[in-house]
Amino acid sequence: MSEKEDEKGKRGGHHTELYIEVPPTCLPIVYSPEYNITFMGLEKLHPFDAGKWGKVIHFLKEDQFITDDTIVAAREATEEDLLVVHTKRYLSKLKTHVLEGSREWSLVVATITEIPPVLFLPNFLVQRKVLRPLRTQTGGTIMAGKLAMDRGWAINVGGGFHHCSSDKGGGFCAYADITLAIKFLFERVEGVCRATIIDLDAHQGNGHERDFLEDRRVYIMDVYNRYIYPGDGYAKRAIKRKVELDWGTEDMEYLQKVELHVEGALNEVLPDIIIYNAGTDILDGDPLGGLAISPQGIVKRDEIVFRAARRRGLPILMVTSGGYQKKTARIIADSILNLHQQGLIEGGAAEGPETSLMPLLMSKSLSSGATFNAI
């Protein structure tokens, strides 16, 4: 862990494993099996498919778009990485538990993840089973930021925790991966001075909005159901292009608005990178989103955003964010395949021998285990 030639100051200069070189044979698609949250079936009590990320990868493999060899293994964000945005106070709050009698309560994490049974788990289990997957997804978003600059596009199959800001989590978001990815780019990649966030999850992205409230380098466009969580009026002041939708908005109106405002946003300010928060909780029937977009509508939406970015030669980083119905994973995979068919992202091709991703993944996080209690 060298703190070498630290000219950029404490924050910009820390040693990170997240900006490693990636072999040119890999597609800029980032994932790790550690993304998926499982513990004794408790995750089933949350109204979501906590294994959706693995299923997306499964479908993409099945359709021979990727192999284990052609995707990039996400690494867990370390405490130092997280401190680029988060306060020490917030990070230590995630580690605390309340002792009451003989029982310990992981109250903070239970509240943030909205998985009530987490309350009854000892903190070391919470760290390992809930926070580590989220930290790995967060590392994946930061890695994908650099990859997008190098390759023109990148997709983190997880991430998109847009309700979390530097000192506050919520709505299943424990780490501010979008803010982190942007700050890493500003601090470490030459020529990145402006970013545009296009947030198309059904919910308002109040986390990154609070983080960039005073930051003129970041342009935020947000399209969301105006009646649902979080309704954060303070954070809304950070939105440059706000599109508030009504209950049950359908494809035609939605896609027209998305296209109009994506074009408008990019014509207004030409960024050095686009961060696209591609939440799929806009899907018809989503218990939280309250919108009525079809699977084909979601595929079309992603195509509109990628087309607008690629036509202008703007690097784009996509994260998958909310949307946890059983059919969600298939839709995300279909959308990625469609982007390829449309010539908006390059394909894998690599017909190398099937080998396991595991050795690559196992080597990760050994150096970054300091943030949880190893047992």
Active site residues: 163
The answer to whether the beta carbons of residues 195 and 182 sit under 8 Å apart is: yes
Counting beta carbons within 10 angstroms of the beta carbon of residue 58, is it exposed (0 to 12), middle (13 to 18) or buried (19 or more)?
middle
Kindly give the pairing relationship between strand 273-277 and strand 241-245.
unpaired
Least distance in angstroms from the C-beta of 279 to Zn ion: 5
Q: Answer left, alpha or beta for residue 119, where phi above 0 means left and psi between -120 and 50 means alpha.
A: alpha
Interface segment toward Zn ion; rule CB under 5 A; list 7-15, 195-203, 236-244, 265-273: 195-203
Least distance in angstroms from the C-beta of 98 to Zn ion: 29
Nearer CB in complex with Zn ion: 297/322: 322
At 322, list the tokens: 């909310």
- What mask, x for binding Zn ion by CB under 5 A, covers residues 293 to 332? -----------------------------x----------
The answer to whether the beta carbons of residues 318 and 329 sit under 8 Å apart is: no
Interface segment toward Zn ion; rule CB under 5 A; list 83-91, 121-129, 135-143, 280-288: 280-288
Q: Would you count residue 281 as binding Zn ion (CB under 5 A)?
A: yes
CA distances from 215 to 175, 194, 196, 298 (A): 19, 10, 12, 30
Nearer CB in complex with Zn ion: 272/284: 284
Q: What is the DSSP string of 204-270?
A: --HHHHHHTTT-TTEEEEEEEETTSTT--HHHHTT-SEEEEE-TT-BHHHHHHHHHHHHHHHHHH--
Interface segment toward Zn ion; rule CB under 5 A; list 100-108, 182-190, 194-202, 250-258: 194-202
Least distance in angstroms from the C-beta of 375 to Zn ion: 33
In eight-state DSSP terms, residue 293 is B
Residues 6+ apart with CB under 8 A from 60: 29, 66, 333, 336, 337
Residue number with the smallest Cβ distance to Zn ion: 322
Q: Would you count residue 199 as binding Zn ion (CB under 5 A)?
A: no
In eight-state DSSP terms, residue 319 is E
Distance CA 345, CA 266 (A): 19
Single out the residue of 34, 80, 201, 222 in contact with Zn ion (rule: CB under 5 A): 201
Least distance in angstroms from the C-beta of 68 to Zn ion: 30
Interface segment toward Zn ion; rule CB under 5 A; list 63-71, 119-127, 272-280, 361-369: 272-280
Least distance in angstroms from the C-beta of 295 to Zn ion: 17
Q: Would you count residue 52 as binding Zn ion (CB under 5 A)?
A: no
Single out the residue of 203, 208, 261, 301 in contact with Zn ion (rule: CB under 5 A): 203
Q: Which helix (H) or strand (E) holds 297?
A: helix 295-311
Nearer CB in complex with Zn ion: 67/249: 249
Least distance in angstroms from the C-beta of 137 to Zn ion: 15
Interface segment toward Zn ion; rule CB under 5 A; list 11-19, 39-47, 273-281, 326-334: 273-281
Q: How many CB atoms lie within 10 A of CB 313?
A: 8
Nearer CB in complex with Zn ion: 290/315: 290
How many helices (DSSP H) and strands (DSSP E) are in the chain? 14, 10
Which chain residues interact with Zn ion by CB under 5 A? 201-203, 279, 281, 322
